[in-house]
Amino acid sequence: MHEFSIADAIIHVAQELVQQNGGGKVEQIHLRIGELRQVVPDALLFAFDILKQDTPLSDASLEWETVATRVRCKTCGSEYHPNDIFWECPSCGATGAEVVAGEELDIVGITLVEGSDGD
């Protein structure tokens, strides 16, 4: 259940961002989560809903796009979406590729409730 740590970090980072942008009430937090981060959606939502209570994000919901894993073959250099756990290269059959995408864990946007910003 590392999702609790991730939810906790989301709340901290999101609060910081809202403050830096003049405050306001958060409606939704937009995330980008790579497949390799092993985040279980239900576990993240469960953790977030518990931890957001009594914070300025108590009415906020989470929304995210999943970033598919992409790797680069160390032998022949081709880039591909792996189809098995060994990340076998479809071009040359080698394994042990390096990650190009899939480790993202970012906040990419925050929607504030209309008229709630501090200005």
Partner 1 sequence: MEIKVVKRIMEANEQHAEVIRRRLREAGVVALNLISAPGSGKTSLIEAAIHNLEGRVRIGVIEGDPDTTRDAERIARLDVPVVQINTEGGCHLEATMVLRALEEIEVDSLQLLFIENVGNLVCPVVFDLGETYRVAVVSAAEGHDKPAKYPALFRTAQVTVLNKVDLIPYLDFDEEQFTSDVRRLNPEMPILRVSCRTGEGVSEWTEWLLGRL
- Residues within the interface to partner 1 (CB under 8 A): 1-2, 5-6, 9-10, 12-13, 17-18, 21, 24, 30-32, 36-38, 85-86, 88, 94-96, 105-112, 114, 117
Q: Which structure tokens are listed for 107? A: 């906040």
**Closest alpha carbon to 52 in 82, 79, 25, 70:** 25
Q: Give the residues across from 28 on adjacent strands.
A: 61, 111
Minimum separation from the CB atom of position 89 to partner 1 (A)? 11
Shortest CB 107 distance to partner 1, Å: 5
Nearest approach in angstroms of CB 118 to partner 1 is 11
In the complex, what is the shortest distance from the CB of residue 110 to partner 1, in angstroms, rounded to a whole number?
A: 5
Question: CB-wise, 31 or 57, nearer to partner 1?
Answer: 31
Nearer to partner 1, 58 or 103 (CB): 103
